[in-house]
Structure 1
Amino acid sequence: MDFDLSEEQSLLKDSVERLLADRYDFEARKRHGKHPEGFSPEMWRAYAEQGLLAVPFSEEEGGIGGGTIETMIVMEAFGGALVLEPYLSTVVLAGGLLRHAASAEQRAEWLPGLIGGETRYALAHGERQARYDLHDVGVQARRDGEGWVLEGEKALVLHGDSADRLIVSARTAGGRRDRDGIGLFLVEAGAEGVSRRGYPTQDGQRAAEVSLSSVRVGPEAVIGSPEGALPAIERVADEAIAALCAEAVGAMDRMHRLTVEYLKTRKQFGVTIGSFQVLQHRAADMFIALEQARSMSFLATMMAEADDPAERSRAVSGAKVQIGRSGRTVGQGAVQLHGGVGMTMEYSVGHYFKRVTMIDQLFGDADHHLARVARMGSLLAA
């Protein structure tokens, strides 16, 4: 199988890496994190100008017609730079639902603002009681004439405190854990009845708790079928996991590079510590874990576009298991081989480890996905 990038993909990789190398070192990240929104609006505009927000959308919709491979390229570069901007929440999650579930008229109305960087979106789907079960939705949506009224609470809405619009999942029929009866609704973040409590997460990102109190939306706000949104949510979750796997690989690659460089320069007893065989073995273990994660990230990326939900989920879950295990091996090795400096807030290695740890938790940790693969029978279909 040919894993080489096409000419266009190579140009995308070079351009995003050059942008981040020029404008997103660790000190710049610290400054961006102090902005009231938790990231740099200036960098968000730069991503829009460079076409990064347009990557997964078709040319007819104003995008560049990319797919999961192009998204992987961007997310791996973002992982290497520990980017704070809401690319996952706006482009991958909310943008994915607009691509897969919205009508042509809705996409024509809503996507230009997203692609141009003027409008940021967030997916409000998770709830406190649901843990990793995407079908567990307790927020209620009841008909009110031609429109709907939304009532309930959403938890851990990624970048929900700075989003201009929310895509909210709500139950329109059935019981709380039924697979049918789930709809998607576009809600203006400033709409009457919407309240948000933003907070920083452990990895330097932002999230919000969102309360919906008698929030009224019109019929034009319904995205797709008001009772059949779960398949689209599950598909976008798989695409998001593939993107997160790529981001984790970028972060692990940077941790490994920083650690090897440190081993080559840090001296003890008059020699560089990289000359100690036991530390060489530890760095080699980190490299093996990184390459295993990279291979599984490729598999998840290629399978994220599969139309068969079972095949797609099996590959994505397998990748999530390896990402979680490799992230722990690489992160612990990086911190321990750096010694005391690896634990400080002033040095980047600990921040990379925090981000990789958070990625392991998002959309199900390694144990959750290992059980998921076991229920499916195996990683590869017979």
Structure 2
Amino acid sequence: MDFSLNDIQEMMRESASKFIQKEYDFETRRKLSKSEMGYSQKNWELFAKLGWLALPVDEDFGGIGGSVLDTIILQEELGKGLVVEPYFATALLGANLINKFARDDQKETILENVIAGTQKLTLAHSEGHAPFDLTQMRTTAQKNSNGFVLNGIKSVVLDAQNADMLLVVARTSGQSGDKNGLSVFNLTPDTAGMTIKGYETNDGLRAADITFDNVNLDETTVIGELDQAYDAVHRVLLEGIVNLSGEAVGIMEKLVELTAEYLGVREQFSAPIGKFQALQHRTADMFMEKEQAKSMLYYAAIETAENAEGFERACAMLKVRIGNAARFVGQQAVQLHGGMGVTDELSVGHYFKRLTCINNLLGSRDYHLNVLVKEAQ
């Protein structure tokens, strides 16, 4: 199988790599994560100029028409830089859902603004009791003569406090456990009855818990077809797993590089500790875990892009493989750096924190492992 990059993939990889090397060193990232917004609006505008925001959008609506095979290349590079801008939330979740599920008139308006960098989106799907299983949705939108009344709570909504549009998944019909009966609504941050409680996550990014208390919505806020959102949202979340895994692989590559570099300069007994065989074995194990995770990433990306029969299982397998590898590589990197590995001034600990948070997004490693076990029984 040919794993060489095509022109679009190579262009995205080079543009991201140059951006990270020239304008996004670790100290810059630390400052941005501690700022009021949590990232740079100037960088976001640059993302638009570079075409990154257009990558997952169909060509008919001004995009590049890339698949997960294209977006994971960009995600790997962004992972190496620990980029804090909400690319995943806006482009790979929000815009991807609009691209797959919205009506054409909605696509034309929303996607044009996203591509231009003037509108940020976020997908509010996760609930505390069910961070990945959409069929267990408790947020409801009851239909009335004026439209809908929305009630419920969403948790860990990525960058909700900075989003211009929130895509909220709610049950409009059916019972718990049903796939049918889920809909998506378009809300603005100033919607009456909606409370956004924002916070900084452990990896330096932003998220929020959102409460909907008798929020009145008219029918124009419905995205796509009423009651038919499950397949599109579920597909976006599965592609989200692949894209998050691409970021994780980029982080692991950086941790292997940083650890090998440190072992080459840290001395004991008048010699670099990288010459000690026991430490060489540990770095070799880190490298192998990263390579196995990368292989699984490309397998799942190909299965997903080709809509293969077993692509959902491949995504679950990928989440488990990434969870295992990320924990091993992150722990080894921190331990081999010694006490420095957990200081705020060194990037290693920040990479490990991001890996840990990735494991808990879109269903943890344990959640997806349980799914695979149940399927095998």
Q: TM-score, normalised by structure 2?
A: 0.97
Name the residue aligned to 2:157: 157
* Residue 210 (1) aligns with residue 210 (2): yes
Q: Deviations over 1:186-245 (max 9, x none)?
A: 111111222201001111111001111222222222122221211111101100000000
> Runs of 4 or more off by more than 4 Å in structure 1?
none
CA 1:63/1:301 → structure 2, altered by over 3 Å: closer, same or farther?
A: same
Q: How does 1:198-277 map to 2 (within 5 A)?
A: 198-277=198-277
Return the alpha-carbon distance in structure 2 between the equivalents of residues 147 and 181 of structure 1.
Answer: 16
- One-letter code aligned to 1:374: V
Name the structure 1 match of 2:351.
352
2:351 is aligned with what amino acid?
Y
Residues 314 and 376, structure 1, Cα contact 8 Å, conserved in 2 = no
Compared with structure 1, are the counterparts of its residues 102 and 329 closer, same or farther at alpha carbon in structure 2 (3 Å cutoff)? Answer: same
Cα distance in 2 for partners of 1:149, 1:344 equals 47
1:29/1:83 contact within 8 Å kept: yes
* Offset from partner CA, 1:64-97 (integer Å, 9 cap, x none): 1211122101111111000111111111111121
1:41 aligns with 2:41: yes
Alignment of 1:96-245 (within 5 A): 96-145=96-145, 147-245=147-245
Q: Give how far 1:44 is off.
A: 0.8
Contact 2:161–2:198 under 8 Å retained in 1: yes
Where structure 1 has 5 or more consecutive residues not aligned to the other structure, the ranges are none
- The answer for the alignment partner of 1:312 in structure 2 is 311
Distance apart, 1:7 and its partner CA: 2.5
Deviation at 1:154, TM superposition (A): 1.0
Would you say the 8 A contact 1:166–1:187 is kept in 2?
A: yes
- Contact 1:181 1:227 (8 Å CA) reproduced: yes
- How far the C-alpha of 1:355 sits from its partner, in A, is 0.5
Partner of 1:346, secondary structure, is: coil
Q: Matched residues in 2 for 1:205 and 1:363: separation? A: 16
- For residues 27-106 of structure 1, what are the structure 2 equivalents within 5 Å? 27-106=27-106
Q: Which residue of 2 aligns with 1:362?
A: 361
Length-normalised TM-score, structure 1: 0.96
Secondary structure at the counterpart of residue 215 of structure 2: strand
Deviations 1:301-330 (A, max 9, x none): 11223435x512111111111100100111
Deviation (angstroms), 1:178: 2.6
Q: Shift of residue 263 of structure 1?
A: 0.7
Superimposed CA distance per residue, residues 281-309 of structure 1 (whole angstroms, 9 cap, x where no aligned partner): 0000000000001001111211223435x
Q: Report the aligned-residue RMSD.
A: 1.4
**SS of equivalent residue, structure 1 residue 196:** strand
Q: Is the aligned partner of 1:13 residue 2:17?
A: no
Deviations 1:163-195 (A, max 9, x none): 111000111112233322111111111112222
1:161 partner SS: helix
- Please give the secondary structure, in 1, of the residue aligned with 2:337: helix
- Counterpart residue type for residue 53 of structure 1: L
Name the stretch that deviates more: 138-147 or 278-287.
Answer: 138-147
> The residue matched to 2:312 in structure 1 has which SS?
helix
> 1:266-290 deviations in whole A, cap 9, x for unaligned?
1111100001000000000000000
Q: Is contact 2:242–2:297 with CA below 8 Å preserved after alignment?
A: yes
Alignment check: 8 A CA contact 1:68 1:239 kept: yes
In 1, Cα distance between the equivalents of 2:289 and 2:64? 33
> 2:76·2:251 contact (CA, 8 Å) conserved in 1?
yes
Partner Cα distance (2:217, 2:352) in 1? 41
Give, as a single letter, the amino acid of the residue that structure 2 aligns with 1:373. L
Alpha carbons 2:99, 2:111 under 8 Å: kept: no
Letter in 2 for 1:334: A
Alignment match, 2:324: 325
Note the alpha carbon deviations across 1:310-357, whole angstroms, 9 max, x for none: 512111111111100100111011001111111111100011011111
* Counterparts of 1:21 and 1:299, CA distance in 2: 29
SS at match of 2:95: helix
Whole-angstrom CA distance in 1 between matches of 2:197 and 2:171 = 23
Q: Distance in 1 between matches of 2:366 and 2:137?
A: 23
SS, match of residue 135 in structure 1: helix
Q: CA deviation at 1:146?
A: 5.3
Query: Aligned pair count?
Result: 377
> Does the CA-based 8 Å contact 2:69-2:305 persist in structure 1?
no
2:217 & 2:113 partners in 1: Cα distance?
Answer: 20
8 Å Cα contact 1:164-1:190 kept in structure 2: no
